Structure 1
Amino acid sequence: MINKHICENGARIVHEKMPYVRSVAIGIWVKAGSAYEKEGEWGLSHFIEHMLFKGTPTRSAKMIAEQFDRMGGDINAYTSKELTCYTTTVLDNHANEAIDILADMFFNSLFDENEMKKEKTVILDEIASVEDTPDDDVDERLWAAMYPDHPIGRSIGGIKETIETFDKKMINDYMKEHYRPENIVISVAGNYNETLIDCVIKHFGTFTVLESERAQEQSPPIFQGKSISKMKDIEQAHICLAYPGLKLKDHRLHDLILLDSIIGGTMSSRLFQEIREERGLAYSVYSYYSSYLSTGSFVIYGGTSPEHLDEMVSMMDAIINNVVMNGISARELSNAKEQLKGSFLLGLESSESRMHRNGNNELILQEHKTMDEVVALIDNVKIEDVIVMAREIFNSERAVSVIAPQVEECESRN
Structure 2
Amino acid sequence: MTAQHAGPSGAPVELPVVAAGREPLTTTLSEQDGAVVRRTVLPSGARVLTEAMPGQRSATVGCWVGVGSRDEDRGHFGSTHFLEHLLFKGTERRDAMDIATAFDAVGGEANAATGKEHTTYYARVLDADLPMAIDVVTDMVTSAVLDEDDFTSEREVILEELAMNDDDPADVAHEKFAELVLGAHPLGRPIGGTPDTIRAVGRGDVWEHYRAHYRPSTLVFTAAGGLDHDEVVDLVQAELSRAAGDLGEAAPAPRRTGGTPSGGLERGQALVVERSTEQAHVLIGMTGITATDERRFQLSVLNAVLGGGMSSRLFQEVREKRGLAYSVYSFNANYADSGYVGLYAGCSPAKAGQVADLMLAELVKLAQDGLDSEELQRGIGQLAGGLVLGLEDSGSRMNRLGKSELVHGQFLDVDGVLQRVRSVTAEEVRTLAGELLSRPRSVAVVGPFSDDTPFTGVLQ
Over residues 38-67 of structure 1, what are the superposed CA-to-partner deviations in whole Å (9 max), with x where a residue is unaligned?
222221111011100001233221221111
Q: Note the C-alpha offset of 1:183.
A: 2.2
Contact 1:29 1:360 in 2 (8 A): no
Query: What amino acid maps onto 2:53 in structure 1?
Result: M
2:313 paired with 1:270 = yes
1:164-179, aligned counterparts within 5 Å?
Answer: 164-179=199-214
- Give, in whole Å, the separation in 2 of the partners of 1:232 and 1:319: 28
- Give, in whole Å, the separation in 1 of the partners of 2:324 and 2:450: 18
- Residue of 165, 179, 185 corresponding to 1:150: 185
Gaps of 5+ in 2: 1-35, 251-255
User: Aligned with 1:57: secondary structure?
Assistant: coil
Aligned position for 1:25:
60
Query: What amino acid maps onto 1:199 in structure 2?
Result: L
User: Aligned with 1:250: secondary structure?
Assistant: coil
User: Aligned with 2:317: secondary structure?
Assistant: helix
User: Aligned with 1:283: secondary structure?
Assistant: strand
Over residues 58-92 of structure 1, what are the superposed CA-to-partner deviations in whole Å (9 max), with x where a residue is unaligned?
32212211110001100000001000000001001
Which range moves more in the overlay, 190-199 or 140-149?
190-199
Contact 2:307 2:315 in 1 (8 A): yes
Which range moves more in the overlay, 332-341 or 97-106?
97-106
Aligned position for 1:14:
49
Aligned position for 1:222:
263
Contact 1:228 1:402 in 2 (8 A): yes
Contact 1:35 1:152 in 2 (8 A): yes
CA, structure 1 residues 217+284, in 2 after alignment: closer, same or farther (shift >3 Å)? Answer: closer
- Give, in whole Å, the separation in 1 of the partners of 2:236 and 2:309: 40
Aligned position for 1:53:
88
User: What is the TM-score normalised by the length of structure 1?
Assistant: 0.95
Aligned position for 1:213:
none
Query: What amino acid maps onto 1:104 in structure 2?
Result: D
1:374-413, aligned counterparts within 5 Å?
Answer: 374-408=417-451, 409-410=453-454, 412=456
Query: What amino acid maps onto 1:342 in structure 2?
Result: G
- Give, in whole Å, the separation in 1 of the partners of 2:327 and 2:455: 22
Q: Note the C-alpha offset of 1:262.
A: 0.7
- Give, in whole Å, the separation in 1 of the partners of 2:122 and 2:104: 14
Q: Note the C-alpha offset of 1:410.
A: 4.3
CA, structure 1 residues 118+209, in 2 after alignment: closer, same or farther (shift >3 Å)? Answer: farther
Structure 1 runs (4+) deviating above 6 angstroms are: 216-220
2:224 paired with 1:189 = yes
Which range moves more in the overlay, 219-228 or 145-154?
219-228
Q: Note the C-alpha offset of 1:227.
A: 2.4
2:247 paired with 1:204 = no
Aligned position for 1:353:
396
- Give, in whole Å, the separation in 2 of the partners of 1:115 and 1:13: 31
1:129-148, aligned counterparts within 5 Å?
Answer: 129-148=164-183
Contact 1:402 1:410 in 2 (8 A): no
Contact 2:173 2:282 in 1 (8 A): yes
Aligned position for 2:107:
72
2:286 paired with 1:243 = yes
Q: Note the C-alpha offset of 1:411.
A: 6.3
CA, structure 1 residues 47+93, in 2 after alignment: closer, same or farther (shift >3 Å)? Answer: same
- Give, in whole Å, the separation in 2 of the partners of 1:240 and 1:51: 33
Over residues 135-162 of structure 1, what are the superposed CA-to-partner deviations in whole Å (9 max), with x where a residue is unaligned?
1110011111112312110100101222
Over residues 81-118 of structure 1, what are the superposed CA-to-partner deviations in whole Å (9 max), with x where a residue is unaligned?
00000000100111111111112211221211111111
Contact 1:221 1:295 in 2 (8 A): yes
Query: What amino acid maps onto 1:73 in structure 2?
Result: G
Aligned position for 2:298:
255
Over residues 10-36 of structure 1, what are the superposed CA-to-partner deviations in whole Å (9 max), with x where a residue is unaligned?
111101111211011100000110111
Over residues 156-205 of structure 1, what are the superposed CA-to-partner deviations in whole Å (9 max), with x where a residue is unaligned?
01012221233332223212322233322000111113333211122237
Q: Note the C-alpha offset of 1:300.
A: 0.2
Contact 1:223 1:244 in 2 (8 A): yes
2:121 paired with 1:89 = no
Query: What amino acid maps onto 2:398 in structure 1?
Result: M
Which range moves more in the overlay, 106-115 or 164-173?
164-173
Aligned position for 1:288:
331
Contact 1:183 1:363 in 2 (8 A): no
- Give, in whole Å, the separation in 1 of the partners of 2:448 and 2:422: 45
Contact 2:40 2:47 in 1 (8 A): yes
Contact 1:180 1:208 in 2 (8 A): no
- Give, in whole Å, the separation in 2 of the partners of 1:167 and 1:348: 41
Which range moves more in the overlay, 27-36 or 54-63?
54-63
Q: Note the C-alpha offset of 1:208.
A: 6.9
RMSD over aligned Cα atoms: 2.1
Over residues 312-367 of structure 1, what are the superposed CA-to-partner deviations in whole Å (9 max), with x where a residue is unaligned?
11211221221122111111100000110000111011211111110121112221
Over residues 279-326 of structure 1, what are the superposed CA-to-partner deviations in whole Å (9 max), with x where a residue is unaligned?
000011100111111111110001111111111112112212211221
Aligned position for 2:385:
342
User: Aligned with 1:75: secondary structure?
Assistant: strand
How many residues are paired up? 410
- Residue of 94, 97, 112 corresponding to 2:147: 112
Contact 2:76 2:206 in 1 (8 A): no
User: Aligned with 1:77: secondary structure?
Assistant: strand
Contact 1:180 1:209 in 2 (8 A): no
2:383 paired with 1:328 = no
Contact 2:182 2:287 in 1 (8 A): no
Gaps of 5+ in 1: 211-215
Which range moves more in the overlay, 330-339 or 404-413?
404-413
Aligned position for 1:279:
322
Report % sequence identity: 36
Over residues 341-397 of structure 1, what are the superposed CA-to-partner deviations in whole Å (9 max), with x where a residue is unaligned?
000111011211111110121112221111111111011111110010110011221
